[in-house]
Amino acid sequence: MSPYTPQGIIEPPLPHNDRWGRAGSLIGNERLHQLEILLDEAFTIPGTRIRFGIDGIIGLIPGLGDILAGILSLFIPLAAWVRGVPYITLARMLTNISIGLIIGTIPILGDAFDIFWKANRRNYRLLTLHIAQPHRHTWRDWAFLLLLGLAITVIFAIPLAFLAWLLVKLAAWNPAR
């Protein structure tokens, strides 16, 4: 796959959107694009079109690897925050990292998932889309957060429902039979 190239004219954010003044210019599109490529697309598996970066390599280290990769992946959302990206976009970015981090902890399967998930590429796209069209959120942003909230609710509700069912069964259990 070729690296993502933003469409349209990308202009730097307005000065009032930059949370750190001139320091925001230190994390420009060129540097963030290089970081995204390094983390997600720097290498190709010979004979295939599958690309991966140091994120996938670091993730192979049991336990510590996924945590280190997650910390490195936080740089793009931090840069987005400094450049004034709205919080809904930042929430999507952090969710992308969280999904990669949580599933990445599964041995072997999680490492393969990291190679195909490419959270840093997703986050770089979100950043460049926001810069190209500031303050424009689509229904996809809100639908994503709604589905995320529902998924988290279901994840917490299933063990609680199982516990309630188990307590009802234990209360009705009669060992004297």
pLDDT band of 122, cuts 50, 70, 90: very high
Share above pLDDT 70 across residues of the chain, in percent, rounded to a whole number? 82
Q: CB 63: neighbour CB atoms within 10 A?
A: 8
- What are the C-alpha distances in Å from 174 to residues 39, 169, 171? 58, 10, 8
pTM above 0.75, yes or no: no
- Name the nearest CA neighbour of 6 among 37, 33, 44, 24: 33
C-alpha to C-alpha distance for 106 and 29, rounded to whole angstroms: 32
pLDDT of residue 16: 45
The mean pLDDT of the chain is 81
pLDDT of residue 121: 93
Sign of the torsion angle spanned by Cα atoms 158, 65, 96, 40 = negative
Identify whether the C-beta of residue 114 lies closer than 8 Å to the C-beta of residue 56: yes
DSSP 113-130: HHHHH-HHHHHHHHHHHH
* Contact partners, residue 104, CB within 8 Å, separation at least 6: 59, 66, 69, 70, 110, 111, 113, 114
| pLDDT digit string, tens, across residues 34-90 | 889 999 999 999 999 999 999 888 888 887 888 888 888 999 998 888 887 888 888
What would the two tokens of residue 36 be? 């995204």
C-alpha to C-alpha distance for 135 and 24, rounded to whole angstroms: 18
What is the 8-class DSSP label of residue 19?
T
3-state helix, strand, coil in the chain (%, to 5): 70, 0, 30
Sign of the torsion angle spanned by Cα atoms 31, 103, 143, 88 = negative
| pLDDT digit string, tens, across residues 85-121 | 888 888 889 999 988 888 888 888 888 898 899 999 9
Lowest mean pLDDT among 16-30, 102-116, 144-158: 16-30
* Contact partners, residue 37, CB within 8 Å, separation at least 6: 3, 53
